[in-house]
Amino acid sequence: MLEIKDLHASINGKEILKGINLSVKTGEVHAIMGPNGSGKSTLSNVLVGHPAYEVTRGSVTFDGKDLLAMSPEDRSHEGLFLSFQYPVEIPGVSMVNFMRTAVNEQRKYKGLPALTASEFLKLMRQKREVVELDSKLANRSVNEGFSGGEKKRNEIFQMAMLEPKLSILDETDSGLDIDALRIVAEGVNKLKTPETSCIVITHYQRLLDYIKPDIVHVLYKGRIVKTAGPELALELEEKGYDWIKKELGE
């Protein structure tokens, strides 16, 4: 589904990603772990096309299409979703208006007719239940005045609405208490189908107790330095990242 080859990317002239190779197949859950500053968030931002990052080398294909050539909105329409680490607040834009525009733009891209107001509201209601999102939140401005947990739940709610093929969860566990973490993780699991894939970016094992990865990668200094099964995450939890640095001869 996703094929990353020798990806180099920089921000403000500083190279952060120094040759990433990664292949995610349909139905797989990948975890990307790594110490702070290793390039985890850069990777997710580059994949969804954040304008601040510049790809200097390499290629990314998504379902066989050249992802890097697409606008951010078309990447979304193709089925790529990022749950942001820090979802932005958009004062004055209601959740309903925001989501309706997003859903209908996707439908337009796919050649489907726009949903009517009542169809849309029905869909909102259904999907809200996935993450137990309060109906009041849905009537507020996007993320405005939401608590940390509410913002993350809102991300998963939007994921439910847009039904992406590949979801990237960027530090979705940060700032969540245990109950919120459970709700968010259960939401993600409910949405998971054999046709969809998921990349979980996290610092800790915690989230991986709920969302079981098939493959775990360690990202360090802009490269994937280790790839193994779920046991790698446990090992990292136990030993920290220092042993990897040692292994790399640092």
3-state class of 211 per DSSP? coil
Q: Which is nearer to another protein, 168 or 216 (CB)?
A: 168
Stretch that binds another protein, among 14-22, 75-83, 191-199, 204-212 (CB under 8 A): 75-83
Q: How far from the centroid of its chain's Cα atoms is residue 159's Cα?
A: 9
Q: Is 105 an interacting residue with respect to another protein (CB under 8 A)?
A: yes
Q: Is 72 an interacting residue with respect to another protein (CB under 8 A)?
A: yes
What is the size of the binding site for another protein (CB under 8 A)? 32
Q: Is 162 an interacting residue with respect to another protein (CB under 8 A)?
A: yes
What is the DSSP code string of 40-53?
A: HHHHHHHHHT-TTE
Q: Is 61 an interacting residue with respect to another protein (CB under 8 A)?
A: no
Q: Is 145 an interacting residue with respect to another protein (CB under 8 A)?
A: no
CB atoms within 10 A of CB 222: 22
Instruction: State the minimum distance, in angstroms, from the CB of residue 119 to another protein.
Output: 18
What are the distances in angstroms from CA 62 to CA 78, 87, 106, 141?
A: 8, 24, 17, 32
Smallest CA-to-CA distance from 15 within 44, 67, 45, 53 is with 53
Q: Which residues bind another protein (CB under 8 A)?
A: 48-51, 71-73, 75-77, 81-82, 84, 87-93, 97-99, 101-102, 105-106, 109, 141-142, 158, 162
